[in-house]
Structures are given as structure tokens and as C-alpha cells.
Structure 1
Amino acid sequence: MATDVLQRYCEKIKHELFQSVLPFWDRHSVDNEFGGFFACLDVDGDRYDDRKFMWLNGRQIYMYATICGAYTASELSELSTDRLSREKLLKDALNAAKFMYAHGVREGKVFFSLTREGEPYHFERKIFSACFLSLGLGSLGAVLKQDGRIDEGEGLVAKSLLLLKLIIGWSHDPSSLGREVCEGAPKTSPMNVPMILLNILDELQVKGAISVESAMAADIDVKQEEEWCVAEIMKHVRSNEQRVLEVVLADGSLWRRR
């Protein structure tokens, strides 16, 4: 019975993805003039903001790459009434990857959002814009390599690794992001940082973008970073209380405001 229920949900999700979500994105989110994806769309697909957000573009590049890595052109066409083109999804993802990296990464900074034409609009002193771009670039690079487009794929993976190395440095030392350390603020451990870093390390390996060996060649010790992420996450777990805390002090103790 439970298996039947799960199967029905899987079919429902697949139907929604291929009959509704992907066709909507394909029709309305792609900027065919400059590259990249629009995210501020109303129910009819009309844009109410032309800005391009790094985290949303990174996620959409990742999503397109994941779909194209899992389905052949004919399978994708059969799943969608709009007859989605695998070739077009890859082309749009690659254009977005090139646009967002070229305009959104400057002098070790990864911008949160850009204008439609690619001018930096907003910068946050956090790791997440870089995280989603690294994940998208690496995943797309792996699919292109699978398709025999070796040079393009390896170029994207190399950019993904460069970002990953920056992300790891920022995760261990947030002050390198330029965030001011105030004297009265305690040193804390936010759980979202090790969680997303662990996710990126895992996904890039699952997608075939990186291996332990290739990461080591880029001076990234995957095993060591994964162990650090798990140790940091476990600081937040209170098993005896059956709860997980969002923020604790750096040593794992409870943060109490004075």
C-alpha cells in the first residue's frame, strides 16, 4: 500500500515537472538576447523585474543539467506535451552559465544579482550565491562531458572548482568575505553553511563533475571538508531533546542573549 501511494506521488510530481514547470520556464524565463534566466514572473509568465539572481540562475542551470543528464532527447520529448528539446535546455543552461559567470564573478566576489545586461546590482557577504553557481556549473559541465563536448565541459568544471575553493575558504573564515566582526558579537556556528557545503561536495561527486583525485589536484581535500561539515552540523543536534538548533556558539553550546 505504501509503495502504491509513493508511486502515485512520484507520477504526480513527474507530470507537474514535465507538463507544467519546465514548459513554463522554457517559454518565459529564458533571456534569448543576453543569456541567463528571469525569475520574477507572474502566473502568466509576464516579468515584473528584469534582475537576474545568482542563486536562482545557479539552481536553474543545475536543474536543466540534471534533467538532461537523466533523460535522452526522445524520452524528454515524450514526457512533455510541449515536446521539450534537450538540445535547447542545454543551450539555454550553457548561455546562462557563461553569462552569470562572466558578469557575476569579479575579483573574488560573486554577486547576488545582476541587471538584465549583466551589471552588478547587489552583493551579499555570504557564500550562497557562489554555492549555487558552483553547483550549476559543475553539474552542467559533467553532462557536456558525457555528451562528448569535453572542452566545454572541462571548462565549466574548472570554474566550478575555483568557486568551490573560495567557498571552502569563506566557510572556515567568514571574515574573508569582508564581513565586519563586531566586538560584542559572539562567535557562532550557523548550520546553513556546513549544510550547503556538504550538499555541493556530495552533488558534484554524484554528478561526476569531480572526484576525490581531481579535487585534490585543485588543492581541495574532499574527505577532510566533508568531515568538517558533519562535525559542524552535529554541534546543532540535540538528540536527547529531539531537536536541531539553527545557530549555536562555535563550541556547540547554547547561544543565550544577554
Structure 2
Amino acid sequence: MRYEEYAALYKNNLLDDVVPFWLKNSQDPQYGGYFTCLDTTGKVFDTDKFIWLQCRQVWCFSMLYNKVEQKQEWLDCAIQGAEFLKKHGRDAAGNWYFSLTRTGDPLIQPCNIFSDCFAAMAYGQLYQATGNEAYSKIATDTFHNILQRQENPKGQYSKAFPGTRPLQNFALPMILCNLVLEMETLLDKEVVETTISNGIRSVMDIFYQPSMGLILENITPDGEFSDSFEGRLINPGHGLEAMWFIMDLATRNNNQDLIIKAKDITLSILEYGWDKENGGIFYFLDVKGAPPQQLEWDQKLWWVHIETIISLLKGYLHTGDERCWEWFEKVHAYTWSHFPDAENGEWFGYLNRQGDPLLQLKGGKWKGCFHVPRGLYQGWNTLQQIAAKKESLSTQVS
């Protein structure tokens, strides 16, 4: 398949399948916000509203409006979700809850800082679409609150006993690498540069272990290995997703060496995380080969595969390393033969090790309108850039 044909596949699946699925099935016309618990056909099976998935959908439709086409129905979808969240999503201190009832009553306290991360991302993107200063203020206030909480993100809700085995987790530094670019135009230049510098250092110099060629999910406060369930944990999808965030930061800073390093880490993690018996990428692994704590360790998840595709395509675009393209075609073939549901639309989220759907749902507590549409957009856009670059080089040669 040619680059242009791949690009068309990603574009068409995004605009003709995935986006209409969520637009039609997820909006709550009575109370606002979105239903994310959707069965295989898009029917709602639970009405609880999870803040980070609500915010991700606000971001998604705002992004589509800003970057693809200024469709009013996309903007309306984003605004109604944002207004629901504006009314119900935060506690008195401005921290975002984890989940709400359908009507907007809090269900779970603000125990998860990722609600805040995706709220900042959502309102920043929606501000770009609307120019509404109220959305800008929510985005910037939330971002600064994240920075204040980043050393102790769970705060009073942490289950860990203080001081016994303190660990720092990879997820927040990783997300900040992407979030800061999303919000760059709204933030003070010094805050942006400091956040970018700290994010790159954290991901590439602290959590990345050169001796392993892998990124650890948890390390000690001093950046050392912890020989424990948490310390031995490898989440290949997290590391692979983080590498395209780093490539975007490196592109912004015109740092080709950093792009090459991120590309090389992508290939190293993928080689390690690929199931050589059944295909696909494992969800969790233990770096010492011990039995993982997570019983779902051998499942194949939608987001892991689509995020890997983005990193491979960006690695190929920026470096021309043919290994990236070879792996892209391999991961693409697995992904597109297992996850998209041609009959009912959207993608399955959870496969067993052999590649069969474990759950028929299209959305739930953890899967919403985010990784698939974002990945399809990034894939479409990057494949177009690859095609244009190849065409330009061909013209120069001839």
C-alpha cells in the first residue's frame, strides 16, 4: 500500500466511522456531557461520567474543529460537554473529581490528577476554537494547579504508607510533555520552557534505563531501580506513546539528536514488548521476567497499538529509518485486522492474548473518545507528511 493509500484509510476511518459513532451515541441531551459506556452497537449500558473521559471528548471535538474542519456540530458537541464539566466537575479548591453521576453529582473524590491534566488540555483546545476567556482561565488555572501538585499528585488520597517505599511514577511527567505543547500559547514562556526541559529530562534521563533499553513505570525518588512489583513494571504502551511526545518536543526545539534517541527507544521497547508467538503488544511485563502483578498483563489493548503507530510514523518521517516503516506495516497489519469493527463501527478495546475481543464494548470507564480519533488524525497527518517528503525528494532527484 502506498503512503497516500494508508493516509486515506486513516482519514476515512476517522471521519466516516469513528467520529460519527461518538457524535451519534455519546451525547447526553438531557443533562449534558457524554456517555462513554457504550456497547458494541453504541447503546448506553451505564450512565456514570468519568471526568478524564469527558475532558478527552471535549478536547477531541475541539481539536477536530480547529485542525480538520470548522463543523458547527463538532463545536457544539465540545461546548456542551465543557459547560457540563464547568458546572459539575470541580471541588471548591478547583481540583477535578474522578467521576460523577449522570446528573453531575460527585461520585469519586479528586484522587486522580489525570482528570486535571485532561481538563487543562480540553479547555485549552476549546479556547482556541471559541476565544472564550472563561475557558482559557479554567485551562491555565488547572495547569498551574497540576504543577503545584506534581510532587504529591494523589495528596490526601494516596494509599501508600509514607516513607516505606516512596516511588515516582512515569505517567505524569510523560503527560506533561504533551500537555505543555497543547497549552503553549496560553502559558508564560518561562513556564513552558521549564516544563519542557523538566519533562525531557525526566522521561529520557531518569525513567529511561539505557542498560535495558526500556522505560520503567516506577522508580525511587533518587531515580534508582526498585526491586518490587511496582519497580519491575514495564508498560510498553506508555513508553511508546511518550516517544512521539518527545519527538514533537524535539521537532519544536530542532533537536535531531533527541529525535533519533526517541526513535531508537521506540524500536527497543517495541522489540521487547511484541508478542512473538501471537502478535500484538503486551499490556504489562516484569523487567526481570517474574509473573506480573497485573492479571491482565497479556491482553492486547487498542491504545497501546494506535499510539505505537504514531511513534513509528513520526520516527520514519523525521529520520528515514526503514526499521520504523517495517515495524509500522507489521503493527498496522495487526491493529487493523483485530481492533476496528467493520460491522458496528469504532474499535474494540480489549483483546485476549490470541487476539480475540474479550469485551464487546466500544467505550467504558477507561476507553472513550480519545486514543482512536487522536491516533487516526495523527496517522493521517503524518502519513501525508511522509508522502509529501518522498515526493519532494523524488522531484529533486529527477
Could you tell me the TM-score, scaled by structure 2's length?
A: 0.54
Rounded to whole Å, the distance in 2 between the matches of 1:132 and 1:182 is: 28
For residues 73-110 of structure 1, the C-alpha deviation after alignment (integer angstroms, 9 at most, x for no partner) is 4xxxxxxxxxxxx1121112111111112201012231
Can you give the 5+ residue segments of structure 1 that lack an aligned partner in the other structure? 74-85, 146-152
Q: Name the amino acid aligned to 1:157.
A: S
Aligned equivalent of 1:204: 183
Q: Name the amino acid aligned to 2:100.
A: L
Alignment match of 1:65 (pick from 62, 73, 77): 62
The residue matched to 2:150 in structure 1 has which SS? helix
Moved over 6 A (4+): none
Rounded to whole Å, the distance in 1 between the matches of 2:156 and 2:62 is: 29
Alignment match of 2:166 (pick from 183, 187, 203): 187
Rounded to whole Å, the distance in 1 between the matches of 2:171 and 2:64 is: 26
Aligned equivalent of 1:149: none
Rounded to whole Å, the distance in 1 between the matches of 2:123 and 2:188 is: 18
Aligned equivalent of 1:78: none
Rounded to whole Å, the distance in 2 between the matches of 1:143 and 1:171 is: 28
Alignment match of 2:49 (pick from 48, 52, 56): 52
Residue 177 to residue 203, structure 1, CA distance change in 2 (3 Å): farther
Alignment match of 1:10 (pick from 7, 11, 22): 7
Alignment match of 2:197 (pick from 218, 227, 236): 227
Q: Name the amino acid aligned to 1:165.
A: H
Rounded to whole Å, the distance in 2 between the matches of 1:139 and 1:177 is: 30
Q: C-alpha displacement at 1:225, in angstroms?
A: 2.2
Q: C-alpha displacement at 1:247, in angstroms?
A: 0.9
Q: C-alpha displacement at 1:38, in angstroms?
A: 0.8
Rounded to whole Å, the distance in 2 between the matches of 1:245 and 1:255 is: 10
Asked whether the 8 Å contact 2:98–2:110 carries over to 1, the reply is yes
The residue matched to 1:241 in structure 2 has which SS? coil
Aligned equivalent of 2:20: 23
Q: Is 1:155 paired with 2:140? A: no
Q: Relative contact order: is structure 1 or structure 2 higher (C-alpha 8 Å, sep ≥ 6)?
A: 2
Residue 72 to residue 225, structure 1, CA distance change in 2 (3 Å): closer
Rounded to whole Å, the distance in 2 between the matches of 1:118 and 1:46 is: 21
Asked whether the 8 Å contact 2:168–2:219 carries over to 1, the reply is yes
Aligned equivalent of 1:87: 72
Can you give the 5+ residue segments of structure 2 that lack an aligned partner in the other structure? 230-398
Q: C-alpha displacement at 1:9, in angstroms?
A: 2.1
Asked whether the 8 Å contact 1:189–1:232 carries over to 2, the reply is no
Alignment match of 2:151 (pick from 172, 184, 191): 172
Q: Is 1:107 paired with 2:78? A: no
Rounded to whole Å, the distance in 2 between the matches of 1:90 and 1:129 is: 21
Q: Name the amino acid aligned to 1:93.
A: A
Asked whether the 8 Å contact 1:235–1:252 carries over to 2, the reply is yes
The residue matched to 2:86 in structure 1 has which SS? helix
Q: Is 1:134 paired with 2:120? A: yes
Identity across the alignment (%): 26
Aligned equivalent of 1:246: 217
Q: C-alpha displacement at 1:29, in angstroms?
A: 0.5
Q: Name the amino acid aligned to 1:102.
A: K
Rounded to whole Å, the distance in 2 between the matches of 1:226 and 1:136 is: 19
Q: Name the amino acid aligned to 1:123.
A: Q
Aligned equivalent of 2:293: none
Could you tell me the TM-score, scaled by structure 1's length?
A: 0.81
Q: C-alpha displacement at 1:181, in angstroms?
A: 5.1
Q: Name the amino acid aligned to 2:11.
A: K
The residue matched to 1:105 in structure 2 has which SS? coil
